[in-house]
A and B are shown apart, each in its own frame.
Chain A
Amino acid sequence: MNSKKWDKVATAVLYAVALFIIVILFTLLAYILIQGLPHVTWHFLTSPAKAFTKGGGIGIQLFNSFYLLFLSMLISVPISIGAGIYLAEYAPKNWVTDLLRNAIEILSSLPSVVVGLFGFLVFVLQFGFGFSILSGALALTLFNLPLLTRNVEDSLEAVSFSQVEAGMGLGLSRWTTVLHIILPEALPGIITGMILGAGRVFGEAAALIYTAGQSAPALDFTNWNPFYIASPLNPMRPAETLAVHIWKINSEGIMPDATAVSAGSSAVLVLAVLLFNLAARVIGNRIYKKLTAE
């Protein structure tokens, strides 16, 4: 066979490989949605889970997932913006900065189960927070921080240096320049990264099993006082999230409709993550257009 034929064969194989990947993705999505969506009813989304009988829902788990996501973003967003600003604007070029960057890189490559175990040891036991939303949110923060920081740093670095010069030329301090000129321009990139990070956090379970716990006590949705024990807003209550719920019922669930519940929960989880991805794209574009008056 000559080289021209080989070229044709290779091209065909590469097309086949790409097609294969697309088929995998669509099979996965179709499987999850076809298996899961029939179970997703209003009742399923709002009623509490049942341990031993059929017909349990995922209401509390769904709320826990969103609340935990909200709390962990509340903690990690400001820290990552501050750290990103430091790395992009203030960090001198020397070995200390290299060390900092390496440390962040290592944190981002740690297996999430190790982060979860650390959270268990420190937040749950040492700090005495117990299995709680707060412990979970802190563990998720550790899991999320390095990637968010990297994203903030990259977005800030992408802003042209002439903007910094312009700000400085006006007599503004570095901090003011960053806050009022660089940060707004980098905002679309930062927000896109934050939403993608939120999607990642939403599906995370390994870091939560031993921090936010594996039980979802009944909530009283009429009492929103955060200090009341059954209040949805109480950050000190144990809170099983949707992702943990799927894991839990598949490894030790004894309810008769475990497969149906996990199929439904998987569909909800995947839809939520798809929504986050879509939102990241749309919101990023929209803010960019608005800020640049395109």
Chain B
Amino acid sequence: MDPIKESLLKTSKAAKKEKKGKLISEFCIALIIIAVVAIFYFVASKGLATFFTNKINLWDFLTKTDWNPGVKDSHGHPEVGALPMIVGSFGVTFLSAIVATPFAIGTAIFMTEISPKRGYRIMQPVTELLVGIPSVVYGFIGLSVVVPFIRRTFGGSGFGILSGTFVLFVMILPTVTSMSVDALKAVPRHYREASLALGATRWQTIYRVVLRAATPGILTGIVFGMARAFGEALAVQMVIGNAALLPKNLISPASTLTSVLTSGIGNTVMGSLQNNALWSLALLLLLMSLFFNLVVRWIGKRGAVK
């Protein structure tokens, strides 16, 4: 064969390199996907063992209030009622979201509508820094400032859902704020112009036009904030008191799914019921974060139709 024909028929060096490059990038993405699948597989297989191997009733697990997997109750069933933790987790999540939302939306409006130049330049780094402070530092401040403060003001030990709410409020505030800012920024300028041209004041424009148009985006931000609050472990664990009891009020020691996990998993033996029950809590946590994800997607879809 003549050399020219041969070089034309053979795969060129560049084509080989291209193939190799594409393969490398596909390999990287495959690694990530494998990791996601593995996380779901392992956590689910461990978490479901409580129900399949140890034969715990799922309904009992979700609704009973006695958490003491090593002890059997009067019927001979182990006490694995996760309701106190579920209540604790949802309690701090909703309360902190309720407290944080007005502040976050207010800040976001301030950044985009009231003072879009100077205010934005100041608040942008402020929210970034609040995100950057590590959660253990929030926990430490909660422990040394918030808990004593609540103890002095409301009595009790100071540990409880209220302290957790205060700490989480500051932690999710920047998340909700920055997503609300994005949502408000995405509202087309002519909406505002039309409203102002009708003689509406700036606040009327914000309240009746801009906020309404940005609602899906703001809701997404709130759900993201809640997801963060729900999954936050150490900061909450340090201030909530870690008593696996149904909280009587906001200042009695309680616990969340994450706090029980962080303090418990090292003290149990792999494969035992105590350990499996903890993995079920982890599975619950995983499913909830999946649920928050779906909610975000659903809001996004509904918002996009309009």
Which of B38-46, B77-85, B246-254 is found at the contact surface with chain A?
A: B38-46
B282 at the interface (CB under 8 A from A): yes
Whole-angstrom distance between the alpha carbons of A66 and B136 in the complex?
Answer: 17
The reply to whether A21 and B173 contact each other, CB–CB distance below 8 Å, is yes
Instruction: State which of B27, B133, B231 has its C-beta within 8 Å of the C-beta of A82.
Output: B27
Q: How many residues of chain A have a CB within 8 Å of chain B?
A: 88
Cβ contacts A to B, 5 pairs, < 8 Å: A11-B114, A117-B261, A175-B22, A246-B140, A270-B133
The reply to whether A7 and B262 contact each other, CB–CB distance below 8 Å, is no
The reply to whether B21 and A103 contact each other, CB–CB distance below 8 Å, is no
Beyond A17-B107, A79-B32, A176-B21, 17 additional contacts (C-beta under 8 Å) are: A3-B201, A18-B123, A31-B145, A80-B28, A86-B26, A104-B32, A105-B293, A114-B286, A115-B39, A122-B42, A200-B132, A203-B137, A250-B139, A259-B144, A269-B136, A270-B133, A276-B132
B128 at the interface (CB under 8 A from A): yes
A250 to chain B: which residues have CB within 8 Å? 136, 139-140, 143, 238
Whole-angstrom distance between the alpha carbons of A15 and B170 in the complex?
Answer: 18
B8 to chain A: which residues have CB within 8 Å? none
Whole-angstrom distance between the alpha carbons of A203 and B137 in the complex?
Answer: 9
A283 at the interface (CB under 8 A from B): no
Which of A43-51, A204-212, A226-234 is found at the contact surface with chain B?
A: A204-212
Chain A, 140-165, CB within 8 A of any chain B CB: 142, 145-146, 149
Q: Which of B18, B114, B170, B234 has the most CB of A within 10 A?
A: B234
Q: Which of A3, A104, A206, A209 has the most CB of B within 10 A?
A: A206
- What is the distance, in angstroms, from B117's C-beta to the closest C-beta of chain A? 14
Instruction: State which of B29, B33, B110, B203 has its C-beta within 8 Å of the C-beta of A15.
Output: B110
A106 to chain B: which residues have CB within 8 Å? 36, 289-290, 293
The reply to whether A17 and B106 contact each other, CB–CB distance below 8 Å, is yes
B106 to chain A: which residues have CB within 8 Å? 13-14, 17-18
- What is the distance, in angstroms, from A8's C-beta to the closest C-beta of chain B? 8
Closest 4 pairs between A and B when the two form their complex, measured CB to CB = A111-B231, A203-B134, A82-B28, A175-B21
Q: How many residues of chain B have a CB within 8 Å of chain A?
A: 87
A209 to chain B: which residues have CB within 8 Å? 262, 266
The reply to whether B130 and A25 contact each other, CB–CB distance below 8 Å, is yes
Whole-angstrom distance between the alpha carbons of A222 and B103 in the complex?
Answer: 53
The reply to whether A277 and B139 contact each other, CB–CB distance below 8 Å, is no
B139 to chain A: which residues have CB within 8 Å? 246-247, 250
Whole-angstrom distance between the alpha carbons of A11 and B206 in the complex?
Answer: 11
Bitwise, B24-61 to A at CB < 8 A (1) or not (0) is 11111101110111110011001000000000000000
A121 at the interface (CB under 8 A from B): yes
Chain B, 132-186, CB within 8 A of any chain A CB: 132-137, 139-141, 143-145, 170, 173, 177
The reply to whether B203 and A10 contact each other, CB–CB distance below 8 Å, is yes
A20 to chain B: which residues have CB within 8 Å? 103
Instruction: State which of A6, A82, A277 has its C-beta within 8 Å of the C-beta of B203.
Output: A6
Bitwise, A169-199 to B at CB < 8 A (1) or not (0) is 0001111101100000000000000000001
A134 at the interface (CB under 8 A from B): no
A93 to chain B: which residues have CB within 8 Å? none
- What is the distance, in angstroms, from A113's C-beta to the closest C-beta of chain B? 4
Chain B residue nearest in CB terms to A214:
B266
The reply to whether B285 and A270 contact each other, CB–CB distance below 8 Å, is no
